[in-house]
Amino acid sequence: MLKVMRLDHGVEADGLQRFIQKFALLAQLDHPNVARIFRRDFSVGHAYIAMEYFPRGDLRVRMRDPVDPDTAIGYIKQIAAGLGAIHDVGIVHRDLKPDNLMLRQDGSLALADFGVAKQVSMKITDTGDGDIVGTPYYLSPEQALGQTVDARCDMYSLGVLAYELLTGRKPYHAASAQELLHMHIHAPVPLLPPEHQHLQAVLEGLMAKDREQRYPSGHTLLDDLARTGL
């Protein structure tokens, strides 16, 4: 699969820098749950990245049909493993959502599309225009507030994903993006249905409003799931 940027007078230097940065971030990683990058180069008028092809598309497509609990837990664990890998090298994805989780032929998941990924020290409002970066349904409270982000913002987004995988619906719904952001900041962590109540403490550890109360990384989540026999 190719990611291509046309190089002409309309392409600003920072746009090209972000394109190159995307490759540089991914090139640091060699993990089964992170998309593989094979080549980065320039041709006449274009810059491109050759990356792994995913024949089964993204997780959003898979979630159009119900996901059984065992498969959902498997996906959550794979996402946590991929997040652990990127966090280990100081990368925060910042836009974790089903559309950025790709499925290989064997059913395994890989994190992809690091288009808004930055080093840990960057802020979500660091776009030049103060715009919020990320998808409102999956944004952490600190992202919604424009605060400095770290690995725990990705863990919150994983919590939103986990709820959606287990229940088939998103945890928060609102009439506008601003109302949705307000819910991420202030609304209580949603309750899982009775059949998933044994995972409520895990969800609380992922979606806590105070990031100090969240799992600090994918590794700690995996350790906790292993202790519960999952």
Q: Decide if pLDDT at 79 tops 90.
A: yes
- pLDDT at residue number 133: 47
The enclosing H or E element of 183 equals: helix 177-186
| Same domain? 156 vs 112 | yes
DSSP assignments along 2-51, one per residue: EEEEE-STTS-HHHHHHHHHHHHHHHT---TTB--EEEEEEETTEEEEEE
Residues 40 and 63 reside in one and the same domain: no
What is the pTM assigned to this prediction? 0.83
Q: In the chain, what are the helix, strand and coil shares in percent, each to the nearest 5?
A: 45, 15, 40
Do residue 107 and residue 161 come from a single domain?
yes
**Per-residue model confidence as pLDDT tens digits over 179-222:** 999 999 999 999 999 999 999 999 999 999 999 999 999 999 99
Total of domains in the chain: 2
Same domain membership, residue 135 and residue 84? yes
Parent domain of 90: 59-227
Range 66-86 average pLDDT: 96
Distance between CA 37 and CA 123 in Å, rounded? 26
Active site residue 95: yes
- Given 14, 68, 88, 95, which residue is catalytic? 95
Any idea what the CATH number is for the domain that residue 186 is in?
1.10.510.10
Pick the more confident residue, 117 or 53.
53
Same domain, 30 and 64: no
Indicate if 35 and 6 belong to the same structural domain.
yes
Once rounded to an integer, what is the mean pLDDT over residues 31-53?
Answer: 77
Q: Report in angstroms the alpha-carbon separations of 65 from 60, 130, 146, 165.
A: 10, 37, 34, 10
Same domain for 144 and 206, yes or no, is yes
Question: From start to end of the chain, where are the E strands?
Answer: 2-6, 37-43, 46-51, 91-92, 101-103, 109-111, 118-119
Give all strands (DSSP E) within 59-153, no chain letters: 91-92, 101-103, 109-111, 118-119
Burial 135-152 (b: 16+ CB within 10 A, else e): bbbbbbbbbbeeeebbbb
pLDDT band at 38; cut points 50, 70, 90: confident
For residues 63 and 45, membership in a common domain is answered with no
- The pLDDT value recorded for residue 121 is 39
The half-sphere exposure of 126 on its side-chain side, counting CA atoms within 13 A, is: 15
Mean pLDDT of 103-118: 80
CA–CA distance, 134 with 153 (Å, rounded to integer): 11
pLDDT in tens, 115-161: 555 444 333 333 333 344 456 899 999 999 999 899 999 999 999 99
Is 191 found in the same domain as 166?
yes
Query: Within this chain, do residues 69 and 178 fall inside the same structural domain, yes or no?
Result: yes
Residues 136 and 159 in one domain: yes
> Do 27 and 84 have their domain in common?
no
Higher pLDDT, 40 or 115: 40
